[in-house]
Every structure is written in C-alpha cells, then in structure tokens.
Chains A and B, each alone.
Chain A
C-alpha cells in the first residue's frame, strides 16, 4: 500500500518537473526548413575535388594525419584510441584516406564547438558559472585557426563558418578573463545574428561519422 501511495505521490509531484511550455511550432518549422535548405544547397567542398585531383595525395594525407594527431582533437573528451583510428584512415587510404581524414577532423572540431556553444548558452541563461569555458574556447580557437590555414578553408561556406566560429570563440575566451556581464549579451548576439549554431548543426549533420567513413574504406 505504501508503495502504491509513493508511486501516486511521485507521479503527482513529478508533473511539475520541467513542465514544458507550448511548443513553438512555427519557429521550429522555419528552422527545420532553413537547415534542410542549407544542406540541399551545400555544394561538394572544392577542396575535396582539388585534393582528389592532385598528382600526389601524400601531401594531403600528411596534413590530414598531422591535423588528426597533432592538433589534439583527442584532447577534447575523445577516447584515446580514436585519434589512432583516424590516423590509420589517413595513412592507409590514399585519396580516400585524405578525404576521410579531413572530413573527420572537421566534423569532430565542429561537433566540439557546437557542444561548447550549446552548453555555454544554456549555462549563461541559467546563471551558472561560464567563465571556465574560456579554456575550452582557447583550445578550440587554436584548432579553428589551423583549419582556416588548411585546404579545408577553400570551401567558402565552411571558411565563412570557421571565421564566425573563430570570432565567437575569441569572445568567449576574452569573456573568461574580463568577466564583464555585458559581454555575455554580445556573445549571445554574435551567435544569434550569424546563425552560428544553426550552421554548425547543419555542417555537423552533413559530415559522415568515422564509422561510416571506415565502412566506405
């Protein structure tokens, strides 16, 4: 009897747990349409054509392997064996390996930026401490700059996204040292006005997973 009472009590009390507002149907629908449109219109990156057309892809493979292993993607909450797997993809695969490694590095990086920005905005909005995001932002900023200097940036859409990501990450890194509350609003505005999260979401979704890549190889 007590158990039944407890269950009833729990069900009643839990109704207030994260009680949802009405779904913003039209806004979500517009966002879905925008993401799908962007994915449909997204051309195949030019840098991929060039890497694949190059007489020797060793250069590309070398850069990819260096990016995978050297940039330190694995430092950011990745399992230790994954960088090795990606390195093996780059080393073994020739043109396909270069393509796969570049795609993998870019997808991983953009995924990590998406995670940081999502968490940062949520915590900022809920009043949780966000200053420590600066360290993560600085690490991601370094990788962003390396990618901007790599063949990846020959894809104009991706370059534009990386440049906007660079700006927002720099703002977050600066915020962590200055801790000026008004800068939170500026960061939020930068993310909103440039649709950074929307574009990241779209870009990450468009990249194949490492598993998928390995399947192809």
Chain B
C-alpha cells in the first residue's frame, strides 16, 4: 500500500490503516524521542502524542511531501515542545536547589570521555542537539532535517557545524583520541 492509499484509508477511519501507518513509523519516532530525552517514559509520551496529532490532523496532510517527512516534522515539534516543558520544570528545580546547599561532593571525580561527551551533548542548545542527534547519531540528511524542523538546509548545516564546534571545545582534553 503506498502513502496515498494509506492516507486515504486513514482519513476514512480505517483502523487497520491507522495501525499500518503506526507500524511503519513508530520505531524511528521512538528512537528520536529516546535519543533526545534519554528517558523511556518521556519517549513513550512524545511518541504517543506524535501519532495522536498525526491521526487528528491527517486531513491537513496535502501530499506535497512524503508522509514520512510530514510525520517527522510532527515528531520534532512534539519533542521540542515537550523538552521545553521539562526544561522549565528543571529550571525551577535548579533555582530552588541553588538556594539550599545539598551537601554533594565538592570534588567529583574527573569524568571519562563518554561521560564528558554525554554532558557536552546535553549542554547544547536544544535545536543544535536535535540537528546533531538527527544527523550524526541517527543518520538523517540535512534535507530531511530541514524539512522536519522547518528550516533551510543551510541552517541545518550551520547548526550542525556549531554543535560540533562546541563539542570539540568541550572535549579538548581528549584531543589525542582523534588527532593521533
């Protein structure tokens, strides 16, 4: 069944077509959500919300782009909006914790490369992180990323370049790992 027929059947309320659409795309949506959140519950929530929106708004899909492109743009929007909510919550938490000393270890051990890389990726602005994860980790092209994020291909490339530059700076102490 091609995209056109699948969409037509979903619009007509065909439950089997809905499930077929879900099966075709759920793995990539969940993977991206998990990569961006690192949390199974959040990844599930974002995946659910993506498909609920897709089914609710299937009439808005005009077929100008591939179904996967449209669906990916919905997923990216859901993940970015969801992460903003989580970030807002965390900011409140951090502000409150800063007011009260927690008694944590003031001399944490030196993180290894993997930990440092994780922290550096986490510290990227969320849109840079999305581009980095999509391109360097999940293997999307800049064209796909641009379409999903609603930006030009050049913007996607520029954001990836800045993301890499920041990561390189953060990982400077491990330069021997790639320079040799």
- Whether chains A and B associate is yes
**Which residues does A use to contact B, with CB under 8 Å?**
2, 5-11, 13-18, 20-21, 23-25, 27-29, 31-32, 35-36, 77, 111, 114-116, 118-119, 121-123, 125-126, 128-129, 132-133, 135-136, 197, 201, 205
Return chain A residues, CB-CB under 8 Å to B30: 20, 23-24, 28
B2 within 8 A of A: no
B168 touches A6 (CB 8 A): yes
Return chain B residues, CB-CB under 8 Å to A32: 22, 48, 51-52, 55
**What is the count of residue pairs linking A and B with beta-carbon distances less than 8 angstroms?**
128
A126 to B38, CA, bound (A): 10
B39 touches A122 (CB 8 A): yes
- How many chain B residues touch A (CB < 8 A): the figure is 52
**Which residues does B use to contact A, with CB under 8 Å?**
19, 22-23, 26-27, 30-31, 34-45, 47-49, 51-52, 55, 85-86, 88-93, 96-97, 100, 102, 113-114, 117-118, 121, 132-133, 136-137, 164, 167-168, 177-179
Across the interface, B88 reaches (CB within 8 A) one of A2, A25, A27, A77, namely: A77
Give the nearest-CB partner of A111 in chain B: B85
Return chain B residues, CB-CB under 8 Å to A129: 93, 97, 102
Give the nearest-CB partner of B37 in chain A: A18
B93 touches A2 (CB 8 A): no
